[in-house]
Amino acid sequence: MSLYLRRDDAPLMPPPERVGGAWGWLREHIFSGWVSGPLALAFIALIGWVLPDLIRFFILDAIWIADDGAACRVLGTGACWAFVDRKLDFFRYGSYPGSEHWRVDLVLMIGTVLSARLLWPDGQKSKGALFAFLFGIPLFIFLMMPGPAAVMREPGVELGILAFGVTLASVLEWSKLRTLWVGIFYFFIFPIISVYLLKGSAVLGLMQVDTNLWGGIFLSLLVATVGIVFSLPAGVLLALGRRSELPAVRFFSILYIEFVRGVPFITVLFMANTMLPLFVPDNWSPDRLMRPIIGFALFAAAYMAEEVRGGLQAIPKGQSEGAMALGLSYWQRMRLIILPQALTLVIPGIVNIFISLFKDTTLVAIVGIFDFLRAIDAARIDPVWSGPTVSPTVYAFAAAFYFLFCFGMSRYSQMMEERLNAGRRR
Amino acid sequence: MSLDVARERPSTSLFYNPRLRGFLWQAILILIVGFLSYEAIVNAATNMRARGIPTDFSFWDRVASFDINQTLITYSATSTYGRAFMVGLLNTLLVAAIGVFLATFLGFFIGIARLSKNFVVSKLASIYVEVMRNTPLLLQLLFIYNAVLKPLPNPRDSISFGAGIYFNNRGLVVPDPQFAPGSGFILIAAALGIAASFAFKLYAKRRQFESGEILPIARVSAALILMPPILAYLLAGQPISFDTPVLRGFNFVGGMRVLPEFVALVVGLSVYTAAFIAEIVRAGILSVSHGQTEAAQSLGLSRTHTLKLVVVPQALRVILPPLTNQFLALTKNSSLAVFIGYPDLVQVFAGTVLNQTGAAVQVIAITMAVYLVISLITAMIMNVYNRRMALVER
C-alpha cells in the first residue's frame, strides 16, 4: 500500500498562461487540444466543402418556376422547387376535392387556435405573446394550409377563415373562459364538428368526401391529433391501473403496456388492419382510415402510460395519505391531489412522446393511408416531373416540415420545463 | 370522551367495505375483459370461416415458392414457410446487431463531442442530434435509399474504394473470404489468446493488490490476443484467401454483394439511433457530480484513472438502462425494412407469407411474439445487471 503514497511534495507547476484577444479565444474554444483541435479543423474543412454546394443546390441553382420537369432535368441545375409548388395542394390535402378544401382549412384553424389556447401556460401574457396568440397562430396555419394561391382563387372563403381564426382567438382571450371549458369543447365537441365537416353531411348541405380521398399534411395532423388526444386519458387510466392495489387491475394494465411496448408499431398497424375487422361482427367493421387510427391510439396509450407512471411515482406518499386523512375517496384523491401534481411534473416527457408519436405517424403509409410522407413519395415518381433533382428536393421539403414541427415541440417542452421548475429552483 | 367514540367500530353498510368493493371492481373488470375476448374469438372464428381464412398452423411446412434476395442460411423457392421465417428472423437479427454496434460507437463519439469545450465540435454535434431527432426515421431511410443510393453509378462506373471494394447502384461489392480447411485452428488460437489475456489480467490485479506493482495489462493483452491467430494463420499455411470481385459485362462476378437495401437500413438505423444514444451518454456523464472528479484528482489519480475508476463506472449506471431501451428500439425499428424492401422478418413473414397464406392471425401473432421474446430476454438481462450495479444503500 505504501507504494501509493507520495513521500515528498509535488513539484510546483507554473501558473496557466493567459492569452487574451481573438487568438486567445480561438485557442481556448477551437484549437484546445491534440484531439479536438484537428477534429475542429476537419469539421471546418467539411463545412467549407459541403455548405457552398448545399447553398448552390437549394437556392442559387434551384428552379423556382417551371411548368414541367424539362427545366429541372437540365444538367447542373439545383433543387426543383417548381415541382413542390405545383404539387403543394396534393401534399397538403391529398386527393381531397379542390372545391372542398375550405372545410379542411376551417377544421385546422379551429383546432390550431384551440390547441394553442390549451398549450399556452396560464398566467399573465406579455404583449408580444398576446399578439402572437391572437394573430400569429391563425396567420401561421393560414399561410401553411390555404396559402396565398388559395386566396387568389377564393378570396371570400379563405380570408373569412382567417378572420374567423382571429375572432375565435380573441373571444377565447377576452371572455376569460376557463381552461376546463376550452378542454371540454376541444375533446368532445370539436371532434364531432370536425367529422361532420370533413366527411360531409346531407343535413348541412355538404358534399360527401370518402376517406379514401383524404391525405397529405392534413391527414398526418389528423392521425397525430386523434392519437394524442386519445392517448392522454387512456394513458392516465393505464398508469393508475398499473399502480393500483387491486391485483387484477394491475395485471391487465401491465400486460397491455408491456405487450404494446414490446412490439414494433408496424406490427400493431398490421394487426389493426387485418385482425381488427375479424374481431368484430361484420357490420361493425371499421373504416379503412379508422383502423390505423385506432391502432395508433392504442399504441400511443401504452407509451403515455409509462410516462405518467413516472410522474405518479415521483409524488411522495404523504400526499396520498394526507388526502386520505381528509376523507377523500380514491377518485377524489387522484383527481384533486395526485394527478395535477404528477401531470405537471411530466409535461416535458409527454411532449417528447408527442414528438415521437408525430414522427411515427409516417408509418401508417404501410396500410395504404396517404399521409404526408406517402404523398411525397407518390408524387416523386410522377413521370412528367421525373428527374435526378426531384427526390432530394421533396425529401428536403418533408424534412423541413417535420423538423419545424418537432423542433418547435421540443422547444416548447424546454420552456415548460423551465417554468415548472420555477417553484423548485432556489 | 372522543376516544371512546373512536374506539367504537363504526357500523357501515357492506356496500362501503373497501375489501368487498375491491373484489367487486376486479370481478367487473375480469368479466368485461373475458366477455370482450370471448366475443373477439367467436367473431374471429365466424369471420375466418366465412372468408376461408386458415385457422391452424399447417401452412408452416408448406412450400413457400417465392425467392428472397438475401439469405444467411440456404433457402430456395422450394423451401417451406417455416424456413422463410428463419431467413427473415436472421436478417432482422443481422441488421439489429450491426446497427447496435455502429449506433453505440457513433453515439458515444457524438455524445462526448457535445460536451467538448471546443466550440466547433460541440455545436456541430448538437446540430447533428437536433436534426436526427426531429425528423422521422422513415424519411431518413427513404432519403438514403431513394436519393443517395439509387442515383449511384451503375456497376461499370462503380465508385472504387480500393482493395476490391466497389460501391454502385446495385449495392456494395466486397471481397469474399474463402476458408480452406485449417481455418478452424485460427479460431481456436484466438479463443486461447483471449482466455490467456483474461488470466493475465486476473494475475496482474492480484499482483497489484499484494505488492502495488502495476503490470502493463493493455500491451500484454493486445499481444496475447493478436499473436496466436497470426501465428496459427502462418503455421496452417495461410488457409484464408479472398475472392475479389471482377467486372465482367454489366455486373461484378465473384466477391460478396451487400444489398443497397441492407446498406440503407443499417446506415439509417445507426445514424438515427446514434443521436438518441448521444443524448443518453451526455446526460450520463453530466450526472456524475463535479465533486467526484475533484475528489479523485485530490487523491492524486491521473486523468485516465479518474475517468476509468471514478467517472465511467458511475456514468454507466445511469447510461445503461436507457441505452438498452435504445437497442430495443433499434431492433423494433428495423421493421421499417418493409418500406424499402429489405427482407427482414416483417417484410418476409408478415408481408409475403401473410399475403400468400392469408393466415393473418397466426402470422401476426408469431411476428409479435418474436419481438416480445427479444424484449423480454433483454429486460431479464438488464434486471440482473441492475441488481448487481444498484447503489448499495443502508
Pairwise CB contact (< 8 Å): A264 & B133: no
A20 phi-psi bin (left φ>0, alpha ψ -120 to 50, beta other): beta
pLDDT at A26 > cutoff 50? yes
- Fold entry, domain A223-419: MetI-like fold (1.10.3720)
Q: Are residues B287 and B151 in the same domain?
A: yes
Decide if B69 is inside a domain: no
Given A262, A264, A366, which is nearest B339 (Cβ)? A366
Say if A310 is an interface residue toward chain B (CB within 8 Å). no
Report, as an integer, the average pLDDT of A14-21: 73
pLDDT of residue B393: 55
pLDDT of residue A160: 80
Kindly calculate the radius of gyration of chain B based on its CA atoms and give it in whole angstroms. Answer: 29
Q: Are residues B118 and B204 in the same domain?
A: no
Q: Are residues B196 and B265 in the same domain?
A: no
pLDDT above 90 as % of chain A: 12
Decide if B164 is inside a domain: no
pLDDT at B2 > cutoff 90? no
Q: Are residues B273 and B154 in the same domain?
A: yes
Decide if B66 is inside a domain: no
Decide if B382 is inside a domain: yes
Q: What is the DSSP string of A326-347?
A: TT--HHHIIIIIIHHHHHHHTH
pLDDT of residue A19: 67
Q: What is the DSSP string of B193-252?
A: HHHHHHHHHHHHHHHHHHH-----HHHHHHHHHHHHHHHHHHHTT--EEEE--EEETTEE
Say if B43 is an interface residue toward chain A (CB within 8 Å). yes
Reported as a pLDDT band with limits 50, 70 and 90, residue A31 is low
Q: Are residues B277 and B300 in the same domain?
A: yes
Q: Are residues B234 and B101 in the same domain?
A: no
Q: Which of A142, A122, A125 is nearest to A133 (CA)?
A: A125
Higher pLDDT, B162 or B309: B309
Lookup: cell for A393: 428536393
pLDDT of residue A229: 83
Q: How far apart are alpha carbons B19 and B321 in whole angstroms?
A: 37
- pLDDT per residue as tens digits for the range A347-379: 888 888 889 899 999 999 888 888 888 888 888
For chain B, the average pLDDT equals 83
Residues of A in contact with B367 (CB under 8 A): 267, 270
Decide if B171 is inside a domain: no
Decide if B295 is inside a domain: yes
Q: Are residues B203 and B315 in the same domain?
A: no
Q: Are residues B86 and B109 in the same domain?
A: yes
Q: Are residues B225 and B290 in the same domain?
A: no
Q: Are residues B377 and B283 in the same domain?
A: yes
Reported as a pLDDT band with limits 50, 70 and 90, residue A238 is very high
Q: How many domains in chain B? A: 2
pLDDT of residue A122: 62
Closest alpha carbon within chain A to B125:
A43
pLDDT of residue B116: 81
Decide if B140 is inside a domain: yes
Lookup: cell for A97: 376535392
Expressed as residue numbers, the domain containing B302 is 81-159+257-389
pLDDT of residue A124: 57
Interface test with chain A among B26, B37, B374, by most A beta carbons within 10 Å: B26
Reported as a pLDDT band with limits 50, 70 and 90, residue A125 is low
For chain A, the average pLDDT equals 82
Interface test with chain A among B368, B374, B375, by most A beta carbons within 10 Å: B368
Lookup: cell for A326: 381528509
- pLDDT per residue as tens digits for the range A142-179: 777 777 777 777 777 777 888 888 888 888 777 777 77
Ranges of H-type helices in A145-289 = 147-153, 155-174, 179-184, 190-199, 216-242, 247-262, 265-270, 276-279
Kindly calculate the radius of gyration of chain A based on its CA atoms and give it in whole angstroms. Answer: 27
Reported as a pLDDT band with limits 50, 70 and 90, residue A120 is confident
Residue window 101-140, chain B: list those with CB within 8 Å of chain A.
113, 116-121, 124, 130-131, 133-139
CATH number of domain containing B315: 1.10.3720.10
pLDDT at A424 > cutoff 70? no
pLDDT of residue B1: 45
Report, as an integer, the average pLDDT of B324-353: 89
Pairwise CB contact (< 8 Å): B134 & A262: no
pLDDT of residue B218: 80
Report, as an integer, the average pLDDT of B253-282: 88
Q: Are residues B148 and B264 in the same domain?
A: yes
Please identify which residue in the block is written with the cell numbers 491534440: A34
Q: Name the residue ranges covered by the structural domains of chain A.
A: 223-419
Given A47, A261, A395, which is nearest B147 (Cβ)? A395
Given B143, B212, B371, which is nearest A263 (Cβ)? B371
Decide if B276 is inside a domain: yes
Q: Are residues B374 and B275 in the same domain?
A: yes
